[in-house]
Amino acid sequence: MAEIAYSVTIPVFNEKENLEDLIGKVEFALNQLGKPWELILVDDGSTDGSFAEITALKKRSPSLRGLRFSGNNGQTAAMAAGIKAATGRVIITLDADLQNDPADIPLLLTALDEGYDAAVGWRKKRNDNFVRRASSKLANWVRNLISDENIKDTGCSLKAFRASAIQNIELFEGMHRFLPTLVKMNGGTVKEIEVSHHPRNKGESKYNIWNRVFRSFLDLLAIRWMKWRKLRYQIDEQI
C-alpha cells in the first residue's frame, strides 16, 4: 500500500448540508497533486445526521475516513483526534462550512516545499457580516497582544503542517486557535499565505463574540504563561 502523502482532517458539527460539496471539493484539489491522500472527518456529536451522511458518502469516496464522538467535545478535541488519526506526511486542517476553499490547499503546500514546518491561511478579504469581521479583528488583536505574536489571522482553520511538527504537540481545550504559536514554541517555522474566503451558504455558524473573544481569554493566558515559562537552555559541551 502506498504511503499517504497528505491527510486532510476536518471537524464536523451539524454540517450535513455541506458534506457532499465539501468532500467533492477536497477530492478535486487533492487529486491534482498526484500523490496518495486521505480525508478524515471527525463528527463532534452532531445531531443533524452528519455521521450517517459521512457513512453514505464513504461508499463512493474510498479515501474518506470517519470518526464519531459519543458527544459534543468541541473543535479542539475534534481537531486533535483528526491529527492523531492522520497517517500522512503532511496534515491539512480546515473547517466544514466551505468558507475555507480546498482549492487553496496547494498554495499552502508550496510553503512546506520551501522548507517551512507550517503554512497558515490569512483571509485578507473576509466574506462575513460586520459582527463576525469585527469580532475576528478584535480577537486577532487581543491574541497577538497578549501572546506576543504577529499572526494576522489566528482564526483561519485552513492550515498545513508537517506531521512531525504537529503530531507530538499535546492539545488542550481551546488550543486549536494557537497551533502556529505552538509549532513555533517547539522550534518550528511558520509562513502565512493569503487564501480566499467564501460566505456561508448552508448551515448555521457556531461562532459569536462570546466564543471568539471572551471564552478564549483563559486559553490565551495559558499560551502566554507557556511562552513565559518555556525552558530555554543551550548545552555548550558534552563528553
Q: Could you list the residue range(s) of the whole structural domain that residue 34 is in? A: 6-124+156-200
Separation between Cα atoms, residue 88 and residue 63, nearest integer Å: 12
- Residue 19 sits in a domain whose CATH number is 3.90.550.10
10 Å Cβ neighbour count for 29?
19
Given a cut of 60, whether residue 129 has pLDDT beyond it is no
Grid coordinates belonging to 6: 497528505
Q: Taking the model in full, what pTM does it have?
A: 0.83
Given a cut of 70, whether residue 136 has pLDDT beyond it is no
Is 57 contained in some domain?
yes
Is 206 contained in some domain?
no
Q: What is the mean pLDDT of the chain?
A: 86
Distances (CA, A) of 110 to 103, 185, 225: 13, 22, 33
How confident is residue 130, by pLDDT bands cut at 50, 70 and 90? low
Separation between Cα atoms, residue 139 and residue 145, nearest integer Å: 10
Q: Considering its fold, how many domains does the chain have in total? A: 1
What percentage of the chain exceeds 70 in pLDDT?
Answer: 83
What percentage of the chain exceeds 90 in pLDDT?
Answer: 59
Given a cut of 90, whether residue 37 has pLDDT beyond it is yes
Is 42 contained in some domain?
yes
Given a cut of 70, whether residue 126 has pLDDT beyond it is no
Separation between Cα atoms, residue 165 and residue 172, nearest integer Å: 17
Distances (CA, A) of 165 to 30, 90, 191: 21, 9, 14
CB 66 within 8 A of CB 41: yes
